[in-house]
């Protein structure tokens, strides 16, 4: 009985009757027995008897609503009016409202050309008005009849232990990089990581950044495993030496391993260029800047790139130098801004500083190379950790022709 459905509707026109018949056929194809007049009634049969019997037998009643159905349900005669009286009587007698499933085929939910009669006001209706969405609406109807909702509320968990702080926040993150240290993750995932660690740094909370570097990370894990072994075979010693040689440019130098250097660059960019001085104004810009910084560890940029002009950037006091490249369009804008014709005059007479450059150049060139050069200068003991605040103040840097 539960999966037996009575379909009630108004005989608006031949096209509407055919649509209802197709709906019944589709329900039958989904294992649902349907009671429909065009299949059940023969000449001479009692329509009222069919209605009474169908309403009693059916576990669900699908009501196809149109403006004409509403109009006839409000009249004092006709089959729809009779059904309406029975439906209203069943609801009044305590029958669950969800036995009746209104589906709206045409018309509006309220106001002019309304399709919903008073006794179905406030009952959720399935929208069958758009033929292009028919299969989706049919799926909703079939699920409703079988009581198999598309979304099921998950099982409720237990109350959190509020005596523990930050248990709901993760404090370990993994950054996936290609072998040239360019980002392998999606930018969206990287932005999410940066937003979380920025919050942790603001609250002076600890966290761990892990790096999964394509090709090299697996080799590094293999080397670490060999380092932990007390006794090595001759083949393992040879393998260990090969691994150390391959990884030496990346993992072993006087400044520590590559992981700690990555950490330092990322954290300095967050602390100073993002939080302290505000050169970076969003997590998207922060991600872009760091994505331009990390690959600097894998190669040296030399010579002109894509018809760009090289400039030395130097601190006005300490003369700590790094190099950037500016495209011709930006050079033209800078020369026009200060009223000079040559790049030489631009930097010597006009006195060009990094804050005169575009935001794009700051994110792509200046801040990434500033962070990278600080790390190199720390390794070479040209600067001290105490110099950070001065080093990362972009306005303290001047630009000269390389």
* pLDDT, tens digit (0-9, with 9 covering 90-100), for 84-107: 666 655 655 556 778 889 999 998
DSSP assignment of 237-294, as one string? HHHHHHHHHHHHHHH-STT--HHHHHHHHHHHIIIIIIIIS-S--SHHHHHHHHHHHG
Task: List pLDDT tens digits, range 304-350.
Answer: 456 678 888 888 766 788 888 888 888 888 888 777 777 777 777 66
Residue 17: burial class (beta carbons within 10 Å; 0-12, 13-18, 19+): middle
**Which is nearest to 378 in space by CA: 268, 290, 220?**
268
Bigger pLDDT: 26 or 51?
Answer: 26
CB under 8 Å, gap of 24 or more: what pairs does 245-250 form? Answer: 246/216, 246/219, 247/216, 247/219, 247/220, 247/223, 250/213, 250/216, 250/297, 250/298
What tokens appear for 273 in the block? 């260029």
Cα→Cα distances 329→40, 100, 293, 358, Å: 80, 69, 23, 11
Confidence of residue 254 (pLDDT cuts 50, 70, 90): low
Q: What is the pLDDT of residue 282?
A: 92
What would the mean pLDDT of 254-268 be, rounded to a whole number? 81
First to last CA, the chain: 87
**Which is nearest to 401 in space by CA: 318, 292, 337, 314?**
314
Phi-psi region of 44 (alpha: psi -120 to 50; beta: other; left: phi over 0): left
Q: What is the pLDDT of residue 95?
A: 61
Task: List pLDDT tens digits, range 109-157.
Answer: 777 888 888 777 777 889 998 887 888 899 999 999 998 888 888 888 8
Is the pLDDT at 220 greater than 90? The verdict is no
Domains of the chain (ranges; CATH) run: 4-146 (3.40.50.10140), 262-401 (no CATH)
Average pLDDT score over the chain: 82
| pTM for this prediction | 0.53
Neighbouring C-beta atoms of residue 19, cutoff 10 Å:
18
Q: What is the pLDDT of residue 191?
A: 93
Provide the pairing of β-strand 321-326 with 309-315. antiparallel
Phi-psi region of 127 (alpha: psi -120 to 50; beta: other; left: phi over 0): beta
Confidence of residue 5 (pLDDT cuts 50, 70, 90): very high
Confidence of residue 64 (pLDDT cuts 50, 70, 90): very high
Task: List pLDDT tens digits, range 155-204.
Answer: 888 887 666 554 456 788 999 988 788 898 899 999 999 999 888 888 88
Q: What is the pLDDT of residue 366?
A: 93
**Which is nearest to 373 in space by CA: 336, 327, 318, 326?**
318
Q: How far apart are CA 204 and CA 220, in angstroms?
A: 31
Neighbouring C-beta atoms of residue 236, cutoff 10 Å:
13
Q: How far apart are CA 356 and CA 143, in angstroms?
A: 63
């Amino acid at each position: 009985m539960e999966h037996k459905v009575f379909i009630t509707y108004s005989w608006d026109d031949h096209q509407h009757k055919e649509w209802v018949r197709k709906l019944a056929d589709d329900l039958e194809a989904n294992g649902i027995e349907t009671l429909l007049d065009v299949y059940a009634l023969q000449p001479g049969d009692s329509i009222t008897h069919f209605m009474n019997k169908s309403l009693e037998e059916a576990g669900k009643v699908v009501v196809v609503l149109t403006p004409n159905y509403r109009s006839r349900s409000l009249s004092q005669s006709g089959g729809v009016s009779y059904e309406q009286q029975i439906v209203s009587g069943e609801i009044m007698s305590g029958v669950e409202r969800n036995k009746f499933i209104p589906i709206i085929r045409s018309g509006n939910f309220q106001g002019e050309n309304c399709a919903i009669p008073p006794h179905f006001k406030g009952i959720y209706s399935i929208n069958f008005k758009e033929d292009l969405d028919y299969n989706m609406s049919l799926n909703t109807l079939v699920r409703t009849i079988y009581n198999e909702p598309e979304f099921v509320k998950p099982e409720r968990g237990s109350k959190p232990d509020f005596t523990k702080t930050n248990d709901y926040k993760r404090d370990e993150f993994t950054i996936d990089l290609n072998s040239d240290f360019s980002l392998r993750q999606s930018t969206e995932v990287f932005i999410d990581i940066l937003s979380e660690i920025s919050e942790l740094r603001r609250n002076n909370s600890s966290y761990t950044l892990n790096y999964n570097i394509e090709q090299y990370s697996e080799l590094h894990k293999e080397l670490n495993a060999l380092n932990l072994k007390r006794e090595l075979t001759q083949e393992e010693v040879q393998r260990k030496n090969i691994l150390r040689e391959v990884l030496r440019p990346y993992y072993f130098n006087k400044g520590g391993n590559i992981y700690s250097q990555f950490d330092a660059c990322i954290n300095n960019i967050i602390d100073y260029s993002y939080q302290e001085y505000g050169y970076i104004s969003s997590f998207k810009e922060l991600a872009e800047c760091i994505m331009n910084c990390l690959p600097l560890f894998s190669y040296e940029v030399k010579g002109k790139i894509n018809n760009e002009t090289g400039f030395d950037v130097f601190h006005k006091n300490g003369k700590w130098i790094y190099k950037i490249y500016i495209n011709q369009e930006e050079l033209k804008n800078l020369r026009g801004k200060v009223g000079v014709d040559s790049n030489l005059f631009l930097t010597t007479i006009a006195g060009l500083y990094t804050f005169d450059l575009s935001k794009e150049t700051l994110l792509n060139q200046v801040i990434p190379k500033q962070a990278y050069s600080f790390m190199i200068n720390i390794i070479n003991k040209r600067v001290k950790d105490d110099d950070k605040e001065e080093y990362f103040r972009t306005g303290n840097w001047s630009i000269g022709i390389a």
